[in-house]
Amino acid sequence: MGKTVVSKSKPDELDNEWDDLAHCYYLKREFLLHLHTYNYCAQKYYELYENGVFIAGTIVYSMKVNILTFLNFPSPIKFRIIGLPISIASPPYVGDQREIEYLLSDIIKTEKGLILGLNFKEDYLPHKFLNLRTLPTIVMSLPFDGMEEYERSLRHPYRRRLHRIKEKFKEVEIVDSSCSVFNEEHYELYMQVMKTTTTKLEILKAEVFKYLPAGFELTTYYSKGKMLFWHILCRDHDVMYYFMCGMNYALRDQFHIYNNSLFEIISTAVKYKYNRLDLGQTAEIAKTRIGGVPDERRMFMYHKNKIVMSLLGLFQGLIAYSKHTELPKVFK
């Protein structure tokens, strides 16, 4: 019988074993259904079977992408993207990693036009794909019994910096809630982030945040009733994920908002005994200064036309993410 690839149009049509083969919550049917409902991008779901047994799967969707995004240069081109239809660094496949190359080789026979693979952990089909580096995600191991132990583990300059930054947050009110309370003020702060970032892939609608499943938690920071910042965390087994945020840029420096939010996220992860914290992509300097380390990600491009592939190869130095952040020695 051998291997066969099947495509599905909706998450509720996926194989019953899909969730069992998913390596994180973002790949599970519940979250994919949420995205299919509130961030529809012509998603298609591919499943690979061997002798009738489901062994691997991935998602393909459509979007216009600024191909020169790392240069902050407007260059929108429509791609069929093999990845999660939201700006998340989790590798976009379920099942046996050794079977992904076979699945990808079948997908490119079906999908037309420019194809972009995002946030994989290794290169595939080197004789066909243009494999490139993309933004790493920043991760932290959390071998701490509490924040006091985390602070004691820091080298003196970083511990002193932490105390100096936290002093700015003494009068800030922190409110944890479900995402259902997400409102227009939250969304306005999200849009402030989108207007300043140079590496955005997409702008999400407010409904994506407001109707997130129960595994997501919204934390909002206030000073004298004024919203300063918010972030959403996702809890998944022994990993806590930083999902999205919004920031009041007019008050950012006065309160050291972003750095204080990172310390609060660490505090939450340590409090609930998570072994690993995934802080997401971007802001590498701020995240490595609190103890995070880059977890590399790869992307690839493909087109059936050899001339197009030659042009992509010619400009690969402008397309790939080339920044390498020097890791500070944060811990003793």
- Mean pLDDT score of the chain, rounded to an integer? 93
- At residue 325 the predicted structure's pLDDT band, cuts being 50, 70 and 90, is confident
Task: Give domain status of residue 327, yes or no.
Answer: no
Tens of pLDDT, residue by residue over 202-250, are 889 999 999 999 999 999 999 999 999 999 999 998 999 999 999 999 9
The answer, yes or no, to whether residue 328 has pLDDT greater than 90, is: yes
Distance CA 143, CA 274 (A): 9
The per-residue DSSP string of 80-114 comes to EEES-SSS--S-SEEE-GGGHHHHHHHHHHH--S-
pLDDT at 251: 94
112, 194: one domain = no
- At residue 70 the predicted structure's pLDDT band, cuts being 50, 70 and 90, is low
104, 199: one domain = no
Supply the CATH number for residue 26's domain: 3.40.630.30
Task: Give domain status of residue 332, yes or no.
Answer: no
Domain assignment of residue 125, given as a range: 3-136+297-319
Task: Give domain status of residue 253, yes or no.
Answer: yes
The per-residue DSSP string of 158-171 comes to HHHHHHHHHHTTTT
pLDDT at 213: 96
pLDDT at 197: 80
The answer, yes or no, to whether residue 196 has pLDDT greater than 80, is: yes
Task: Give domain status of residue 251, yes or no.
Answer: yes
Task: Give domain status of residue 325, yes or no.
Answer: no
Distance CA 273, CA 58 (A): 31
